[in-house]
Chains A and B, each alone.
Chain A
Amino acid sequence: MRRKIFSRLISTIVVLLGVSIIAFLLPRLGGGDPAKLMLPSTATEAEVKAMHEKMGLDEPYIVQYTAYMKNVLSGDFGYSYYYGRNVSELISLRLPNTAKLAVFGLIVALLIAVPLGVIAGTHKGSGVDVGAMFFAIVGQSMSPVWLACFLILVFGVYLGWLPTQGMDSWKCWILPGLCIGFDFAASQTRTLRAEMIDVLGQDYITAIRARGISEGKINRKYALKNALLPLVTLVGGSFGAMFAGSMVIENMFSWPGLGQLMVIAINSRDYQLVQSLMLISALILVACNLIADIAYTFVDPRISFN
């Protein structure tokens, strides 16, 4: 067990190292000069050069990368020249906002997917089943931008039931939460339906039926637990992705989270902010997957960790 945990830790470190290198190189190779973007467009060459020196961009890439990683290991994620603040401060201000949205989105997604998927699976061929499949197909093919516009217009503008922007009250969570969880809800409805159908066709379910146990109890106690197993793994990965920030949703709803911050950082070529955001996002994804893997061993004792 200790060996498995150790090997998992090593692989996590390797992944994060790889992400840090990609995060470092991508914005630099993608074009654009952060010094020129920080200065007025009419800045002189001397001013641009001075800005390069101030931002440390005149050093070779390896020196820049080493300095950055050294700081990261001591908890300093760098300095944002665009905001004029430490990156750690910016991330700490935005991370809770994204976390709230991700958790809410996941809860909404599960509240839709689990009952709908289970009912569809247990009532194969029924109207609910058709509706669930339609929802699954439409939900997975729907553009999140379109969905956001649709929800804003219908519930915000025409009906006036829900706010369209910001996070002033709990009502502000609903529309962006729906958008962020919609795709996951659609895909998991389909997955859960298929799993229920598969599990209900197993021999042991037939044997349980033969013992005279009610259909409802069979579905709840015996079939559902096994059908939910793949969901545990999928929740970990998807939640990690939601937690890492949805750029589109956060921009549409002016939700001040990591996704919106990433868009600003990329546009302004705020290198250290981009690098640190990508690193944090990778860390969150890895952590969520790890938690999902651990949870799986508790849900299904037949599976050992890693």
Chain B
Amino acid sequence: MKKRELVKKAAAVALSCVMVMGLAACSSGGDADEGAETEATTKGSENKTVTIMHNQEIPGLDMFGAQIGGAGTSIQMLWGDQLVNTDHYGEYTPWLAKEWTMAEDSLSCTFVLRDDVVFSDGSAMTAEDVVFTFERLRDDTELTNSGKWTPFIKTVEATDDYTVVLTFESPMANFYSQLCQVPILCKAAYEEDSEGYWDAPVGSGPYVITNNDAVNGTIELEKRDDYWGWAEATESNVEKIVFKYSTEDTSRISALRAGEIEVCEAVPQTDVETLEKEGFEVVQQNALSHMFLQFNCGEGEIFHDKAIREAVSLCIDREQLVSAILGGGVPADWACNNDAPGYVGGGYEYDPEKAKEVLESSSYNGEEVVLLSTSGIARSTEVTQALQTMMTQIGLNVKIDTNEQATYMDRRFASDFDMTFTTFTGNCNDWYVECAEIVGANLFGTQYENEELSEICAELNTTADPEKLEEIYGEIYQIEMDEYAPNIYLYQSSEINAYAANLSGITFYPETTADYRFMTIE
């Protein structure tokens, strides 16, 4: 009996040890073997196939027919070409358009096109295709995402086979940042089969969609040998590109480490060390996104009082948020990113003692302050908890209310919050939408009323001149800094992507988009 009991106990202990070993095996980050650098291998090198895994599902390929996000834009750059190229920091260079001239009144723009561009069906691109593309944005009422264009396009005319004149109803301040996201469509192919066009769109890009299984999350493209752009830039040797997705960070990172994919987008900070030790290339850069607190400044609301807003701003240690919690990014010191037009810098003081004094002099009486947040923002849990701690230390009674994205958006529009933790991305470093619509038009229920600010924001719609726009942005940011409203900015986030060491030629843009057109694989 004793022997049997001993055997039972030994078996239980042995099985427990297996469990503990399993738990240890599951830990990541710092538990990777110290110094055991290995060369990251890839299964795609033999057949020149690159598999890319991103974290967003892509419901379709028409970026004006659905919200397809940054990953969709990356795919679009492969099958289609735009009139202009961009470095995504506000510089634009010729692409399908050899040159262009914007009128002084910003009400028309003339493009001169290349004459050597061929679509994937073999037909030559002409001005008629450009006209068709932009008229579709203006006229097609089925499109859900063409709102940036529809109110602005007046006429689109082909004056000859390779010249297009676009006229505007009013100056379009974010014209260039939107222009570089419009792929030129093949008019003939679209008219022949408009229903099926978006299953495999005919474009002039370096790759062709060969399998669009967006429903199952896989899109495959194959290289075109007759692409006009190979003469302009280094030709890619990647024959096939496969896009997949997984919303789970662990799954994406594991797939990369197992060699099943060559590129992993949206890498969490906690996995950087492990991937670097295993020989992967990790690209970390400051994103064109910033995180901020938005106040409900309506009459009778807690943050109608400027002093309380100021106290909140003073008590937040932005440097600590970036270094201790995020492990990357840039603490905000102005109402915009430090590389945005209109940036001055040197604002946003951190002084908790002064914050306490300012709060005591305010109308705050200890009421509960609801900080609305969403699980859809990276690290929102940790950041909002840190903010809560900082604000509690000066005497604010803060409650964090985290909602999933749909409910969060509902509450913002309904002004059902005291302050909200949120983010915005300025595509191609263009902040027109944030300034004109979010700040100027009070889009997200801040109820902030400032006549001067509204008038300045309205001026954004009177010009497309970058220098004039920069001046206006500067004035808007100054008011936001002076009034701590409607937003106080916290930090510029960072974006991390990783890829196998046998790849090169990838350009990751700081807005969840990447240029895979000219990559090579060994």
Contact = CB atoms under 8 A, between A and B. Distances in A.
B217 A125 contact: no
B399 interface: no
B144 A39 contact: yes
Interface stretch (A182-190, A250-258, A290-298): A250-258
Contact of A36 (B26, B244, B248, B413): B413
B231 interface: no
A166 B144 CA distance: 31
A33 B438 contact: no
Contact of B255 (A33, A36, A42, A165): A165
B255 to A, nearest CB: 5
| Most chain B CB inside 10 Å of its own CB: which residue of A47, A82, A254 | A254
A163 B8 CA distance: 36
Contacts of B261: 165
A133 to B, nearest CB: 10
B239 to A, nearest CB: 18
B462 to A, nearest CB: 19
B145 A40 contact: yes
A51 B410 contact: no
Nearest to A128: B11
B124 to A, nearest CB: 30
Interface stretch (A57-65, A103-111, A152-160, A228-236): A152-160
B62 to A, nearest CB: 8
A216 interface: no
Given A83-B215, A254-B245, A156 B67 contact: no
Nearest to B246: A254
Interface in B206-233: 214-218
Contacts of A93: 215-216
Contacts of B53: 165
A264 B405 CA distance: 12
Nearest to B41: A160
Nearest to B216: A256
A267 B405 contact: yes
Interface in A18-77: 30-34, 36-44, 47, 51
Contact of B11 (A90, A127, A156, A166): A127
B103 interface: no
A150 interface: yes
Interface residues of B, number: 54
B250 A84 contact: no
Given A158-B25, A254-B251, A127 B144 contact: no
Interface string A239-259: 000000000000111101000
B195 to A, nearest CB: 11
Nearest to B19: A138
A298 B439 CA distance: 71
Interface string A163-194: 11110000000000000000000000000000
Interface string A101-137: 0000000000000000000000001010011001000
Given A84-B60, A127-B11, A153-B26, A94 B215 contact: yes
Contact of B254 (A41, A146, A157): A157
B259 interface: yes
Nearest to B151: A44
Contact of A131 (B4, B15, B22, B66): B15
A15 interface: no
Contact of B7 (A85, A127, A134): A127
18 contacts: A30-B407, A31-B406, A37-B405, A38-B66, A39-B67, A40-B67, A42-B443, A43-B147, A83-B214, A84-B66, A93-B216, A153-B28, A156-B260, A157-B257, A165-B251, A165-B255, A252-B250, A256-B216
Across chains A and B, which 7 residue pairs bring their CB atoms closest together, nearest first? A32-B406, A256-B216, A31-B407, A254-B246, A152-B254, A156-B258, A157-B257
